[in-house]
């Protein structure tokens, strides 16, 4: 992009009133936008560049960018220095992409790495920023926090990530509860095989609770060629389900179910869990809050429902202590899910 980093620095101060009437000092950047901190001005040209030259490539880049935030951050161990949301998956790509859990991330890394040479940002910041911007393009999503200032990675992350139990164990090392991990998995969507473009729910372009509903429908068929890549049987034509995503797991089943008809809870839990994940291995106190650079996501249209052709009899109850919420099905012929 034409913008130079230096030109994005502070031009002057503006005073604006926030909703509660308090007066807050804000900074006007060279590019005209206002933000809470001059350090955040470098992000506006990057935001425009990413929207125009990454996310114009379609929905799959949003999904992959979000997946990258997770795979960079989770590469962490309390017993090993470094790691976390440090951009190591990009900086030490050759090493980290040899781990099977990181299969298929080479394409999104290749798409994102070019922004490092044209913007003044570290790989760790770029990955989390691109993820937050991508989420902002999804109707119904929360506006994610973005903290700026992650230092450069010093080494590759330790290996080991895939089945849910391993993910929970890894997150437990950094004091995440299973409930928080469930909120994250809502959008991370496990380890999608690189060759697959089958989504995990019938509404892949929006941030809604359908994943939590459809994961509880009885599986009836494989979406493609069968049992490769840890796939499980899916309830809808064209929908992907992987074994670790089925989450028929006593530790998470009730938490999973609680999101099925609660968009507000999902947004709030996802935002909180993402905020924690985005600073794994990083001292949050050294970062600058640039959340106001992230666009406000469009509102969600529609409400929680069963896919057309399904009834409550198709729900496979997994939570032992509470019934699945009663939902009605969309009208029309049975839902099938086109590739993304
Ligand atoms: Ca990392």
What is the distance in A from the centroid of ligand 1 to the CA of 219?
35
pLDDT attached to residue 9: 25
Whether this model's pTM surpasses 0.85: no
The model's pLDDT over 18-47, given as tens digits with 9 standing for 90+, comes to 344 445 679 999 999 999 999 999 999 999
Given a contact cutoff of 8 angstroms between Cβ atoms, the answer to whether 133 and 72 are in contact is no
Torsion of CA 291, 295, 298, 299, to 10 degrees: 20
Q: Name the percent of the chain lying above pLDDT 90.
A: 39
Mode of pairing for the β-strands spanning 10-17 and 23-29: antiparallel
The Cα–Cα gap between 176 and 105 comes to: 24
308 burial class (0-12, 13-18, 19+ CB within 10 angstroms)? Answer: middle
| Nearest in space to 318 (alpha carbons), one of 233, 256, 236, 266 | 256
pLDDT attached to residue 133: 97
Given a contact cutoff of 8 angstroms between Cβ atoms, the answer to whether 307 and 202 are in contact is yes
What is the distance in A from the centroid of ligand 1 to the CA of 279?
10
Is it the case that residue 253 has pLDDT exceeding 70? yes
Is it the case that residue 337 has pLDDT exceeding 90? no
The mean pLDDT value of the chain amounts to 79
What is the distance in A from the centroid of ligand 1 to the CA of 120?
19
Mean pLDDT of 168-185: 67
Torsion of CA 102, 103, 108, 109, to 10 degrees: 50
Catalytic residues: 71
* Residue 221's pLDDT band (cuts 50, 70, 90): low
Is it the case that residue 281 has pLDDT exceeding 80? yes
């Amino acid at each position: 992009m034409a913008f130079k980093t230096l030109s994005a620095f502070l031009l002057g101060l503006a005073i604006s009133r926030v909703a509660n009437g308090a007066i807050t000092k804000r900074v006007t950047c060279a590019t005209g936008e206002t933000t809470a901190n001059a350090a955040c001005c470098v992000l506006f040209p990057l935001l425009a560049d990413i929207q125009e030259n990454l996310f114009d490539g379609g929905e799959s880049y949003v999904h992959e960018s979000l997946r990258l935030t997770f795979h960079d951050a989770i590469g962490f161990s309390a017993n090993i220095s470094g790691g976390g949301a440090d951009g190591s998956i990009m900086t030490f790509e050759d090493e980290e992409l040899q781990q099977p859990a990181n299969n298929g991330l080479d394409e999104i890394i290749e798409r994102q790495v070019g922004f490092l040479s044209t913007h003044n940002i570290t790989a760790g910041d770029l990955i989390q920023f691109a993820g937050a911007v991508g989420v902002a393009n999804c109707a119904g999503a929360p506006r994610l926090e973005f903290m700026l200032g992650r230092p450069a990675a010093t080494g590759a992350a330790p290996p080991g990530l895939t089945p849910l139990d391993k993910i929970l164990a890894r997150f437990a090392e950094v004091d995440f509860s299973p409930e928080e991990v469930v909120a994250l998995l809502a959008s991370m969507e496990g380890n999608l095989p690189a060759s697959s473009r089958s989504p995990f729910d019938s509404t892949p372009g929006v941030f809604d609770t359908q994943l939590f509903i459809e994961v509880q429908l009885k599986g009836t068929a494989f979406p493609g060629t069968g049992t490769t890549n840890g796939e499980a049987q899916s309830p809808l034509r064209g929908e992907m389900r992987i074994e670790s995503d089925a989450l028929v797991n006593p530790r998470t089943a009730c938490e999973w179910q609680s999101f099925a008809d609660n968009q507000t809870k999902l947004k709030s839990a996802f935002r909180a869990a993402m905020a924690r994940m985005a600073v794994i291995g990083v001292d949050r106190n050294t970062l600058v809050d640039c959340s106001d650079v992230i666009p406000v996501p469009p509102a969600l249209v529609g409400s929680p429902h069963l896919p057309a052709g399904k009834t409550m009899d198709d729900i496979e109850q997994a939570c032992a202590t509470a019934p699945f919420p009663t939902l009605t099905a969309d009208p029309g012929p049975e839902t099938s899910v086109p590739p993304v």
